[in-house]
Each structure stands twice: as C-alpha cells, then as structure tokens.
Amino acid sequence: MEKKKGNYTLIPATNAYTKVMKRLVFDVLVEYGLEPGAIDFCLDDVEKHYFERGGYFVVILDENATIVGTGGLYPLENGSLELRKMYLLSAHRGKGLGQWMLTTLLEKARALGFERVELDTASVLKEAISLYKKNGFQSFESDHIVARCDQAYELIL
C-alpha cells in the first residue's frame, strides 16, 4: 500500500532499508537522551519480525526518496498489536506526518483484524504522547514495559 501526502510517500518497509531505518531510530532516540537497546532487534529484519508474524512496518520517504520516518505494528502473544518504532526526523516534524502515519497504522491494524493496540513510550517524547492521547490512547499498566520507557498506552479499536 503506497500513500501520498504532498511530497511524502508512505510505503511498506523491506529489509533493503534496514541500515537507514536503524540509523533514523537510533538518532531520534539519542536526540531525546534515550539509549538504543536489545528491544531494537526487530529492526534487523522487519520482514521476519513484523510481516511474517502478521504485523506491518512502514517508512515515510521525502521527495528525494530518503527515509524520514518509521513505524510498525508488532503482534504480541496476547493477541494485540504493539505500536513500535514510530519516529520522525526532526526536520519533518510538525507537518502532520505523525498523524498520517498513525492513522495509516491504525487503519491497517483494523484491516488485519486486531482489536487492541498498545505502546510503551518515554515521558521525554511529549509530542508523541500528545499525538497518542489525541487519537484515543489511554494510559494502562503494562506487564512488559521496556527499560527506556516509563509509560504505556492502549487503544481499543
């Protein structure tokens, strides 16, 4: 599924983008004072860890076909999806791309037949938290929150 928004294109990711996706995610984490870690293993093979498990992963490309954003839906053992790796490079924030990507991912979650999406996040990611809340995500107590995160949210689809 390819989608266009102005000069931007949102497409499903492939392993051909691995190096660039990892650099983007790690750069944004460091920008916010967060450490890349073991939980980022899924970026090494998005085809296996997302698509083959019944999930989804997208990238946003700018007019030069440069990856400027990432986001994924990772199937969990409890039958829900986890929103993961939703990041945008700073120069591309504030343009509605986060909302566009989130809306696209939530539409895909519904199309895949899932009824619940959860996520872990860190309080320093204030813009992201605001976006999640604006889209109906509610705080909940997660039993598997990752070390760099201090909040968890869920959305019943």
Question: Positive or negative CA dihedral for 65, 104, 148, 93?
Answer: positive
Q: What integer pLDDT is reported at residue 148 of this predicted model?
A: 86
Instruction: Measure the CA–CA gap between 24 and 138, rounded to whole angstroms.
Output: 27
pTM of the model: 0.94
- The string of pLDDT tens digits covering residues 68-123 is 999 999 999 888 999 999 999 999 999 999 999 999 999 999 999 999 999 999 99
Tell me how far apart the alpha carbons of residues 119 and 44 are, in angstroms, rounded to a whole number. 20
Say whether pLDDT at 147 is over 80: no
Q: Is 57 left (phi over 0), alpha (psi -120 to 50) or beta?
A: beta
Q: What whole-number distance in Å separates Cα of residue 11 and Cα of residue 60?
A: 7
127: confidence class by pLDDT, cuts 50, 70, 90: very high
pLDDT at position 27: 96
Q: What is the residue extent of each domain of the chain?
A: 3-115
pLDDT of residue 142: 82
Provide the pLDDT for residue 144.
72
Mean pLDDT along residues 53-64: 97
What are the backbone dihedrals phi and psi of residue 108, each rounded to the nearest 5 degrees, phi first? -65, -40
Fold adopted by 3-115: Aminopeptidase (3.40.630)
Amino acid occupying residue 111: A
Cα(146)–Cα(157) distance, rounded to whole angstroms? 23
Instruction: Give the pLDDT confidence of 10-55 residue by residue, as tens digits.
Output: 999 999 999 999 999 999 999 999 999 888 999 999 999 999 999 9
